Amino acid sequence: MPILTHLDDKNRPQMVDVSAKTETNRAAIASGEIAMSREAFDAIVNARVKKGPVLQTAIIAAIMGAKKTSEIIPMCHPINLTNVSCDVEEFADRAAFRLVVTAKTRGATGVEMEALSGAAIGLLTIYDMVKAIDKTMTIGEIRLEKKDGGKSGLFERKA
């Protein structure tokens, strides 16, 4: 059974000590999707949402979400992000968007949580901005796609 590193020998929560770990270049890519009604999708694509430019705002929110990860996930280390980027894919056939967030650092701990947080916050921002049109939107498939760096090396999701 794997050892839970966020618990000490007395079963108390702890932040993992990464001070002895080697600093390496680290990167992570996470993604997630939001599906919605055709009306909501068309409003976003045609810039008819009263709250403003939805996808541009979602990208900014994704970057901010990645930067704030250690403030909202209790055991995450505050890290020096060297880059956060977000791409948006449109799926007109099923009225959905996919956000893909890439986070990078050079440090002693990975950036998976930052990429995942960025994806989640970006998607939640889309929901917030469009909920007046469609409260039935669904957010899902938030997942780590790839990570590289550190002792565990490369992970890539298989299709």
93 assigned to active site: no
Give residue-wise pLDDT tens across range 82-113. 999 999 999 999 999 999 999 999 998 889 99
Domain membership of residue 33 (yes or no) is: yes
Angle at 95 between CA 94 and CA 98, to 5 degrees: 95
Q: Does residue 41 fall inside a structural domain?
A: yes
In-domain check, residue 84: yes
Would residue 100 count as lying in a domain?
A: yes
- pLDDT for 47 equals 95
| From 8, 42, 87, 128, the catalytic residue | 128
Please give the tally of structural domains in the chain.
1
Instruction: Give the tens place of pLDDT for each residue, 24-68.
Output: 999 999 999 999 999 999 999 999 999 999 999 999 999 999 999
Q: Return the DSSP state at 46.
A: T
Contact 117, 65 (CB under 8 A): yes
**Is the confidence at residue 11, as pLDDT, over 60?**
yes
pLDDT tens, 121-149? 999 999 999 999 999 999 999 999 999 99
pLDDT score for 128: 98
Distance CA 140, CA 99 (A): 11
Instruction: Encode burial over 127-153: b for 16+ CB neighbours within 10 A, e otherwise.
Output: bebbeebbeebebeebebbbbbbbeee
Task: Kindly report the CATH number assigned to the domain that includes residue 123.
Answer: 3.30.70.640
Is 62 a domain residue? yes
User: Cα–Cα distance between 117 and 123 in angstroms, integer?
Assistant: 10
Host domain of residue 85:
24-146
d(CA 24, CA 29): 17
pLDDT score of 22 more than 70? yes
Whole-structure pTM value: 0.91
The two three-digit tokens of residue 128, written as one number: 């917030």
Measured between alpha carbons, how far is residue 61 from residues 47, 48, 58, 126 in Å?
A: 18, 20, 5, 9
In a domain, 132, yes or no: yes
More confident of the two residues 2 and 6: 6
Residue 152 placed within a domain:
no
Give the Cα-Cα-Cα angle 116, 119, 125 (nearest 5 degrees).
140
Residue 154 inside a domain? The answer is: no
